[in-house]
Amino acid sequence: MPVNLTAPNPQDVLPVPGVKLGIAMAGVRKANRRDLVVVTLAEGSHVAGVFTRNRFCAAPVQLCREHLAAKAGTRAMLINTGNANAGTGEDGRSRALSTCVALARHLGIAPEQVLPFSTGVIMETLPNDRIEAGLPAAIADLAADHWVQAAEAIMTTDTLPKAASRRVQIDGKTVTVTGIAKGAGMIRPNMATMLGFVATDAVIAPALMQHLVREAADDSFNRITIDGDTSTNDSFVLIATAQAGHAPITRLDSEAGALLRDAVIAVAQQLAQAIVRDGEGATKFITVQVDGGASEDECRQVAYAIAHSPLVKTAFYASDPNLGRILAAVGYAGIADLDQTGIELFLDDVHVATAGGRHPDYREEDGQRVMKQSEITVRVDLQRGDASAAVWTCDLSIDYVKINADYRS
Amino acid sequence: MPVNLTAPNPQDVLPVPGVKLGIAMAGVRKANRRDLVVVTLAEGSHVAGVFTRNRFCAAPVQLCREHLAAKAGTRAMLINTGNANAGTGEDGRSRALSTCVALARHLGIAPEQVLPFSTGVIMETLPNDRIEAGLPAAIADLAADHWVQAAEAIMTTDTLPKAASRRVQIDGKTVTVTGIAKGAGMIRPNMATMLGFVATDAVIAPALMQHLVREAADDSFNRITIDGDTSTNDSFVLIATAQAGHAPITRLDSEAGALLRDAVIAVAQQLAQAIVRDGEGATKFITVQVDGGASEDECRQVAYAIAHSPLVKTAFYASDPNLGRILAAVGYAGIADLDQTGIELFLDDVHVATAGGRHPDYREEDGQRVMKQSEITVRVDLQRGDASAAVWTCDLSIDYVKINADYRS
């Protein structure tokens, strides 16, 4: 059961002028499953992306990087679920390229103008023939209002589609930002696939796109233990179709730039949090806030150590305020000169530990009360400086193991 | 159910001249539970230890380090289960010291000659009064053949006591090496407590002790994802009572030194593997062997990435040859210049992946056959050099979550 998350209402997921989405059943892994999405982008669109740094990055990720580097002007995206086309060697690459060539031929564009994305099981051969056979149906289905259907078609172990929209006024023009995403296992989702696509009709200088997509990722998907260093397929793409008719945004610190940036980050954060809320087997949504660090990096390091600890996560699942497990995670986070006697620990409003030991006023029943909530903030103060960082995570439940033990069956 | 592990036969766990062990019920956490162990060492014994590098190291670990550094000649050890005395601040330290003072008074030695060890729940106050009240009973119980009883008394979530012995002939004298250990959760046991104690009556130059205990740890406990960097209480202690009557060993690369070293390492490895075999919820014993690395460090890094991956571990639990998850873990292990097209992957004798992709001869049923075994070797060849490293781990089962969610109830 997702934690405080419901399926998006199609009326709330706003079309973005210049973007059309078409869905089809290609039978990639299972029959009668919408598993193929084609997205077309108006001429003049600008696209930027951030991708996994996993050295075993999937074939489609390699092609995305190359096609973006070619600066041919991205005009289409091709997304399949059911097969990640990762760990597939040279053969996987040529199969991914073959699907780009096929879509390009249908649309009358160049293969480098297509970005391919795959999600699903690793190390199995991509059935590119079935994907290519499914393209006409997906193209026939292209429509501006198919965002939610696309969000459904890219799911793997997600239980709900994930979509979000914002509207802002820039120079008297309405600008839309809409995104969809799919998630992953939630202990360390880095091995599953996270895909996120956010589109806007804003007019933005191409030079700003990479900066904006990186900033949005750092404030959203990179806060959910999907840290970009680790998965084979993780991809987050930002599209600007330049259809909104306002004067081009040339600086992100201008008024118009800030409006757009805030809207893009808000959409990305909503999607990222939705991934955690729908984490495999999740029963709790946990914010890990680390303050008082000497640097943002060390705060993040401590936050991840807590968020990744199976013992911490099982304690949350059990609503058991076994909070020493959190202190232990702080201790092994890798800060060599950490002074344990400086550590303060809070669970929402409850002051659990002070000076590295149990707070004299802390009562087990107060910890228990917070642990029973479905939304919990763990706050650690390192008392070493002024930096802060937060990550979002979920608990580790019996269902997590069941889901991942059964994933392929 | 432990994986191919049975309780030690008391006849096979050999006394070590100069070492006596006494057990008592102190009611540290639960009544009517043998939870307190006193160990006495003959005068002239040499002791060396390796301890957790967790910055939140427990109070007893701090005292162990200080007491060893004082070079007062260790004459006793005091071990309790039920409470880790970690995350307890200055108060925890003075309570641990109080137990050392009490035992020293009973034995007529100095407090610095006592090493304290605690295991159990973190961030709860150590009931040192109950421990001190239990000392006379433990002392009255002191006997050379109480190793197995001591192994039982230090257990936490272990289901079986862990003990091992070897005998070697040095200069015509019989030398005994006997050890006991307790284990921990097995996804990342670093937050639970691993305790290991190995004693020998060998005569060994004190200067060699630290080297030998470090080498034995590196070849045993540091290979089981208890990497010494991370837990609050992990401790491994080597004792030499110098009672065997042979000429002192002054070099580990001498014939006698090698015999002793091999015996100590064999005992430590058997104990370390027993910890994995009795890992929380474990159903499989997995050796992760990484060859062809540019350095032993990078091999170890890759091996740990595989051994720590919840997705890999759940796949083993399910006997599901979803082996792309292993490739993905190799990819995110943090080797920046890793060339995925060089990676070879084997599951026992089955060649699963070659050149970073599925091996053309690999058949799912072959992977399935190996995955169903209770003992599995995963071998990765990085093809970058001549270095190797291996770690031992277990799978991640539904029972792991159950055990850790219920640990305190």
pTM for the complete prediction? 0.80
Would you give the DSSP letter of residue A317? H
Per-residue pLDDT tens digits for A141-156: 999 999 999 999 999 8
Dist CA B61 CA B57 (whole Å): 6
Q: From chain B, pick out residues whose CB is under 8 angstroms from the CB of A325.
A: 122, 191
Query: What confidence score (pLDDT) does residue B5 get?
Result: 92
The catalytic residue positions of B are 193
Averaged pLDDT, A52-80:
93
Contact A65, A47 (CB under 8 A): no
> Which of B191, B225, B339, B380 is the best residue to mutate to test the A interface, defined by the most A CB atoms within 10 Å of its own CB?
B191
Place of tokens 């303060």: A344
Per-residue pLDDT tens digits for B276-290: 898 878 899 999 999
Query: What confidence score (pLDDT) does residue A230 get?
Result: 58
Q: Is A193 a catalytic residue?
A: yes
Question: Partners of B47 in the beta sheet?
Answer: B239
Query: What confidence score (pLDDT) does residue B152 get?
Result: 97
Mean pLDDT of chain B: 91
Tell me: pLDDT of B307 over 50: yes
Alpha-helix residue ranges (DSSP H) falling in B309-397: 310-317, 324-331, 364-371
- One DSSP character per residue, A121-179 reads ESSS---HHHHHHHHHHHHHT-BTT-HHHHHHHT-SS-SS-EEEEEEEEETTEEEEEEE
| CA-based nearest distance A165→chain B, Å | 32
Query: Which of B87, B191, B358 comes nearest A357 by C-beta?
Result: B87
Amino acid symbol at B6: T
Query: Which of B53, B187, B317 comes nearest A310 by C-beta?
Result: B187
| CA-based nearest distance B213→chain A, Å | 22
First and final CA of chain B: distance in angstroms?
20
Would you give the DSSP letter of residue B82? E
What number of H helices and E strands is found in chain B? 11, 15
The one catalytic residue among A52, A156, A178, A193: A193
Q: From chain B, pick out residues whose CB is under 8 angstroms from the CB of A55.
A: 330-332, 335-336, 338-340
Per-residue pLDDT tens digits for B226-240: 433 456 788 999 999
Dist CA A148 CA A242 (whole Å): 22
Query: What confidence score (pLDDT) does residue A409 get?
Result: 43
Per-residue pLDDT tens digits for B337-368: 999 889 999 999 999 999 988 899 999 899 99
Contact A87, B287 (CB under 8 A): no
A131 pLDDT band (50/70/90 cuts)? very high
B276, B286, B321, B292: which is closest to B306 by C-alpha? B286
B332 pLDDT band (50/70/90 cuts)? confident
Query: What confidence score (pLDDT) does residue A145 get?
Result: 97
Q: Note whether A396 contacts B401, CB cutoff 8 Å.
A: yes
Write down the domain spans for chain B: 10-277, 285-406
Would you give the DSSP letter of residue A397? -
Question: How is domain B285-406 classified at the CATH fold level?
Answer: Ubiquitin-like (UB roll) (3.10.20)
Averaged pLDDT, A176-205:
80
Dist CA B75 CA B112 (whole Å): 9
Query: Which of B55, B91, B343 comes nearest A340 by C-beta?
Result: B55
B183 pLDDT band (50/70/90 cuts)? confident
A157, A151, A155, A150: which is closest to A279 by C-alpha? A157
CB count in 10 Å sphere of residue A341: 12
B406 pLDDT band (50/70/90 cuts)? low
| Secondary structure of residue B298 in the 3-state scheme | helix
CA B310 to chain centroid:
21
Q: From chain B, pick out residues whose CB is under 8 angstroms from the CB of A84.
A: 324
B58, B159, B63: which is closest to B118 by C-alpha? B58
Tell me: pLDDT of A9 over 50: yes
Per-residue pLDDT tens digits for B58-83: 999 999 999 999 999 999 999 999 99
Q: Which two tokens stand for residue A211?
A: 């900066």
Tell me: pLDDT of A87 over 90: no
Query: What confidence score (pLDDT) does residue B374 get?
Result: 94
First and final CA of chain A: distance in angstroms?
20
Higher pLDDT among residues A86 and A254, named by residue:
A254
B10-277 against B285-406: fold identical = no
Residue A144 contacts by C-beta under 8 Å, 6 or more apart in sequence? A15, A16, A17, A19, A20, A21
Say if residue B255 is exposed, middle or buried (CB neighbours under 10 Å; 0-12, 13-18, 19+).
exposed
Q: Which of A245-249, B11-15, B83-87 is the least confident region? A: B83-87
CA A181 to chain centroid:
6
Dist CA B72 CA A125 (whole Å): 65
Q: From chain B, pick out residues whose CB is under 8 angstroms from the CB of A57.
A: 331, 340
A185 pLDDT band (50/70/90 cuts)? low
Query: What confidence score (pLDDT) does residue B409 get?
Result: 43
CB count in 10 Å sphere of residue A237: 23
Dist CA B203 CA B186 (whole Å): 36
Q: Helix A398-406 and helix B398-406: axis angle, to 10°?
A: 170
Higher pLDDT among residues B99 and B183, named by residue:
B99
Per-residue pLDDT tens digits for B18-53: 999 999 999 999 999 999 999 999 999 999 999 987
Query: What confidence score (pLDDT) does residue B227 get?
Result: 37
Strands, E assignment, A224-349: 235-240, 285-293, 344-347
Helix, strand and coil in chain B, % to nearest 5: 35, 25, 40
Per-residue pLDDT tens digits for A192-216: 578 999 999 999 999 999 999 999 9
Radius of gyration (C-alpha) of chain B in whole angstroms: 22
Averaged pLDDT, B158-180:
96
Query: What architecture does CATH give domain A10-277?
Result: 4-Layer Sandwich (3.60)
Query: What confidence score (pLDDT) does residue B354 get?
Result: 93
Q: Helix A89-107 and helix A59-69: axis angle, to 10°?
A: 50
Place of tokens 């890094």: B301
ipTM for the predicted complex comes to 0.70
Tell me: pLDDT of B154 over 80: yes
Per-residue pLDDT tens digits for A278-310: 887 889 999 999 999 999 999 999 998 898 887
Query: Which of A121, A315, A339 comes nearest B322 by C-beta?
Result: A121
Higher pLDDT among residues B97 and A407, named by residue:
B97
Per-residue pLDDT tens digits for B105-143: 999 999 999 999 999 888 889 999 999 999 999 999 999
Averaged pLDDT, A370-397:
94
